[in-house]
Chains A and B, each alone.
Chain A
């Protein structure tokens, strides 16, 4: 039944130690999104893929990278996590660019 899957649900990493978050989908959607959400705030879009086309938000730090090796999978890489990167990271998918988005359950990242 799960449509957008995120692994792991909880991730602890050390300051400066690279970390990768994973997202997969069974919906065969064209678009995949990565959001950062801090406590009591709205989700903040980091970047998205329309098929293989990568679209970075202007204010997304260079520390954040993404890969989409195929339609089903998308990864978020944080090259050197800082304490300020501790947050919930949400993956979402949609059929097209203005369609409704389907969200995964999120990965809670803690930086020690």
Chain B
């Protein structure tokens, strides 16, 4: 069965530090992968997606993610975190007709 695992429930970083959020997936075919961000009380906003091609994907707000088939991973990175990046981050894999979400990682940013 398809599944997505985000091992880190909560991450705290200092403003200006680098960030990596982990995502591992289980999917039989070539996956369609997504990262979404959710600010408190808001809907989800797409940061980036991977369908095929270049395994390093650039997204909005300075985020990037790298698809590694051998590790079944799609980790999200940002070289320098801003206080406004504090939010909940969800990794998802596209199945036949739906998205399967991970449980999310809450990012806290200290000044």
Residue of B at shortest CB range from A10?
A: B41
Q: Is the interface of B mostly helix, strand, loop or mixed?
A: strand
Q: How large is the interface on A (under 10, 10 to 19, 20 to 34, 35 or more residues)?
A: 20 to 34
User: A20 in the interface, Cβ–Cβ < 8 Å?
Assistant: no
Binding site for B on A (CB under 8 A): 4, 6, 31, 33, 40-43, 45, 48, 50, 55, 88, 90, 92, 97-106, 108
Which residues on B sit within 8 Å (CB–CB) of A103? 36, 43-45
Whether the pair B44, A100 counts as a contact (CB closer than 8 A) is no
Whether the pair B96, A42 counts as a contact (CB closer than 8 A) is no
- Minimum C-beta distance from B16 to chain A (A): 27
Cα(A109)–Cα(B103), bound, Å = 21
- Minimum C-beta distance from B42 to chain A (A): 6
Which residues on A sit within 8 Å (CB–CB) of B103? 41-42
Whether the pair B104, A42 counts as a contact (CB closer than 8 A) is yes
Cα(A101)–Cα(B46), bound, Å = 8
- Partner pick for B42 among A40, A43, A50, A105, CB 8 A cutoff: A105
- Scan residues 41-60 of chain B and give those whose CB is less than 8 A from a CB of chain A: 41-46, 49
Number of interface residues of B (CB under 8 A): 22
- Minimum C-beta distance from A21 to chain B (A): 13
Which among A31, A43, A105 has the greatest number of chain B C-beta atoms within 10 A? A43
Known: A48-B98, A98-B94. A106 touches B43 (CB 8 A): yes
- Minimum C-beta distance from A112 to chain B (A): 19
How would residues 85 to 111 of chain B score, 1 for a CB under 8 Å from any chain A CB and 0 otherwise? 000001000111111011110100000
- Partner pick for A90 among B44, B95, B102, B106, CB 8 A cutoff: B44
Give the top 6 A-B pairs by smallest Cβ distance, nearest first.
A103-B43, A42-B101, A97-B97, A98-B94, A103-B44, A105-B43
- Minimum C-beta distance from A64 to chain B (A): 16
Cα(A22)–Cα(B49), bound, Å = 28
Which residues on B sit within 8 Å (CB–CB) of A105? 42-43
Whether the pair A42, B90 counts as a contact (CB closer than 8 A) is yes
Which residues on A sit within 8 Å (CB–CB) of B49? 100
Residue of B at shortest CB range from A105?
A: B43
